[in-house]
Amino acid sequence: MRYFVFVVIMFSSLSAGAWGMIGHRVVGQVAEEHLSETAQKKVNEILGTMTLAEVSNWMDDIKSDSKYDSLRPWHYTTIPDGKTYKDITPSEDGDVVQGIKMMVEGLKSGELSPKLEREYLMILVHLVGDVHQPLHVGNGEDRGGNDVKVEWFWDSSNLHRVWDSGIIDSKQYSYTELTNLVNHPTEDEVTEWQSSTVEDWANECLEFRDGIYDLPANKKINYEYRHKHWRTVKSQLAKGGVRLAGLLNEIYG
């Protein structure tokens, strides 16, 4: 009962997601390929014929339902320049770090109904993707780059949209092609990435902030900007998938 109450409260606090459809699917597919046999079996039981890649955009799919209109704060967190996550007071409405930790707690509890367990899992898949999109760790000044208007390959856009989907979509890979491109971590990298905390994941995004906001005066960005940041995008997608797998292996064995 406690988790039913929580999920109803949480469903009044979330918002749209990061990476766009392809990026979220990549995180889900990478995770599938790093699951333990036991965890994979449990995920299959929960999702049926659906895969982690398929359900990774569920939190965006439900935007058309008005009862989810206020599902916003759990998709991001705000860390001002010069601070880390431990220095801030998280929003009372929650944030992506709290959301991930609460989903893990709920899934570990064994107290969820089958429907809630499926929804918790789908939320977790999405939020782990979100926290690895650097502009979902905002500076508190421009709504995670949404207020930074740019011209992306000669079309009007904003910096957040460029990082959500513009860079990835402009490469024209399918999600399976992009998964194959990014999913080559070493054993040491898998161990290192999975040993870090959710707070660490948010703090890592701060490392990219200066470069992300290094824009020309005319705010026209295209090939050069994409080339400069493509390695970061690939790395963050891979880390997101490997870390999601680590959480699921921890939850389900």
Give residue 8's pLDDT.
Answer: 41
Q: Are 240 and 96 in contact (CB under 8 A)?
A: no
pLDDT of residue 5: 42
pLDDT at 71: 61
Q: What is the pLDDT of residue 6?
A: 45
CB 202 within 8 A of CB 137: yes
Domains and CATH numbers, the chain: 2-252 (1.10.575.10)
Mean pLDDT by 10 residues, the chain (253 residues): 43 53 97 98 97 93 69 86 95 91 95 95 96 96 96 97 97 98 98 98 97 98 98 98 98 92
| pLDDT given for residue 69 in this prediction | 63
Quote the tokens at residue 221.
Answer: 């960005």
Rounded to two decimals, the pTM is: 0.91
